[in-house]
Amino acid sequence: MPRQSAHQTKANPEKSPRRDPTAAGQRDAAVNRIASHNYFLLEKFECGMVLTGTEVKSIRSGLVNLKDSYGLVKDGELWLLNCHISPYSHGSYSNHAALRTRKLLMHKDEIRKLIGKTQPKGLTLIPTRMYFKNGRVKVELALAKGKQLWDKRETERRRTADKEAREAIARGRKGA
pLDDT value, residue 79: 93
Q: Which ranges constitute the DSSP H helices of the chain? A: 21-24, 35-38, 53-60, 108-118, 149-175
| Residue 165 within a domain | no
**Residue 172 belongs to a domain:** no
pTM summary value: 0.72
- Examine residue 9 and state whether it is found in any structural domain, yes or no: no
53-88 pLDDT, tens digit per residue, is: 888 888 888 888 898 898 989 888 999 999 888 888
Dist. CA 141–CA 104, nearest whole Å: 10
Q: 7-24, pLDDT tens digit by residue?
A: 565 655 555 556 677 666
Domain extent at residue 89: 21-147
CATH number at residue 48: 2.40.280.10
In a domain? residue 62: yes
pLDDT at 11: 59
What mean pLDDT do residues 103-109 have?
92
Count: domains in the chain:
1
| Residue 96 forms part of a structural domain | yes
In a domain, 3, yes or no: no
- The answer as to whether 95 is a domain residue is yes
Whether 8 is in a domain gets the answer: no
Listed range (20-24, 30-34, 45-49, 120-124) with the worst mean pLDDT: 20-24
